Structure 1
Amino acid sequence: MPIVEINILSGFLGSGKTTLLQKILEKEQRKGKNVAVVMNEMGQISIDSDSVPKDMPLKELLNGCVCCTLSDKLEVQISELLSQYDLDVIYIETTGVAHPVEVLDTCLSPLLAKKVRIHSIITLLDAVCWMERKKLKIPLQKLIAEQVKHADLIVLNKIDCISKKSQKSIEEELRSINPTGKVIPAEFANIDINTVISLQTKERGEYEKVHAIQHLHMKTYVHTFLHPISEKLFEEFLRTMPDTIYRIKGYIRFIGIPDTFLFQYAYGMPFQTKSGLKMKNTLVFIGDNLDHNKLQKTLCNIEKNSMQLGH
């Protein structure tokens, strides 16, 4: 039985992992590779699974993190993929708060060790988030540094949001943390995908066990709107977003606009694109000590007031 390669896609919330994964999958398919994907979401529903081609084997792990609470399930899912499909490579997209080395350890369990080979750990890094990381709690700062430290490839993403001087400074910091990893600057996760596919695995050093679910109070909240809402009211809501909410993603429809939008929010920056899909109006919030009741009340009021404006 041939050895199947595993690539681990790491990076903090909103860094661009799914965007990069889409580009990688397109390239792998063009090369005729048999590819499978494991996607891990902290929430109860998956938003990003639509980015995986319909004919590609996909396993989803929801409502937890593959590097701790779901590590046993990850082992089972990989084992099932290996038994059900003739594969060349598996890509694992972790949650934004996963430690890549702990994911790697799970992949090298006795059940899997002789069937798979860890090809690479790829870490996506949001340039703005890195510059402002001191605003985050200490465990999150450590986690992001660990994601950088153990990467074979660091994609310094969103460099269009920072100056050339800042970019140079960040790259120097990254190389001091991880002297053997390759650093590639990027906008919108645009890199030469051959760089990913041809990576050489490096030796792993000691790692510090830092995990946001264990050391912080990282929580998720899922909200579904039953009707389209007012774009103006939604924008006003986003302006009041506390800095303890790190990430929002999902699908949303606005009054008077027929399109469904894929909505992303990270570090105070909202971004939406036409999805071309008819999806439920569902948003997933990820943050520290989320007040579920307050969020629910606020979002329900937005919908209620939107309906009154619509009439």
Structure 2
Amino acid sequence: MPSPSVVEFEAHRSYLTAVAYRMLGNRAEAEDAVQDAWLRYSQQTGEIRDTRGWLTTVTARICLDQLNSARVRRNAYPGEWLPAFVVEPDADPADRAEMADQVSIALLVVLEKLTPEQRVAFVLHDAFGVPFDEVAAVLDSTPAAARQHASRGRKAVAEGQVRHTAGLAEQRKVLTAFLAAAQDGDMRTLAAVLAPDVVAIGDGGGVVRAALRPVLGAERVARFFIGLVSHRLAGVTDLKVEPVLVNGSAALMLSGAHPDGSRLLVVVAIAVDEGRITGIYNQQNPEKLVLGDFE
């Protein structure tokens, strides 16, 4: 029989993973943070009156430490940074298990632009309703300072988040139209499925060639992807394009082999609002592609 502490901790694991994932933007790092919280919990000898609250504070502190240590690495990261993609086969929600830590790539991208304190305060208070006195304990600050961090984070998210309101069926429809127009080299049709303020971000991690800066605007993004299809994919053999899901949203996975024998693997996730694509996220860094059931 597992000890009561194990049973109680496991009752909170999915919640803690959801908290950590929003803070770190990486599923594996989030799970490691939660496991670290378990080790600290299992070593406690005193009474813990509020297990969920205690574990939330400990997990958040672990994440805050990771965010602070990651700032230097992120500043030196080659090109744009995108969160790690967890790729699943495309299926209706009823046909797959719901993920407690499901959150859009569009939100994770803008969360990355917050300071560690803003991100922790915003996630804890706005996403999970943690009171500011408890947020302050995580940040080692006053409740007033914690409130200010959350307010600044909230404002940055509201101003910077790419609009993503469409349901899965609409996302699939728009993504299919986008792919067909790009493959046909139809500039006008492709631009028509893009919002005027669309942004395209690629992450190659210095390992795979990718745009070093975001591409902005419908015309520039359309031209970029038509060029990508006509030049970068022209010599690829065994090219396979599959509909997939990334964090519950419609996406495409492109795989094949380059003429030099190297592997092509790109996952293109999108954000959609009012029938048009508002954000395109190309994850090409192989270290940030977790293929789940595809592996």
Does the TM-score normalized on the shorter chain lie above 0.5?
no
Structure holding more strand per residue: 1
Q: Structure 2 length as normaliser, TM-score?
A: 0.30
* Greater C-alpha radius of gyration: 2
When normalised by structure 1's length, the TM-score is 0.29
More helix by percentage: 2
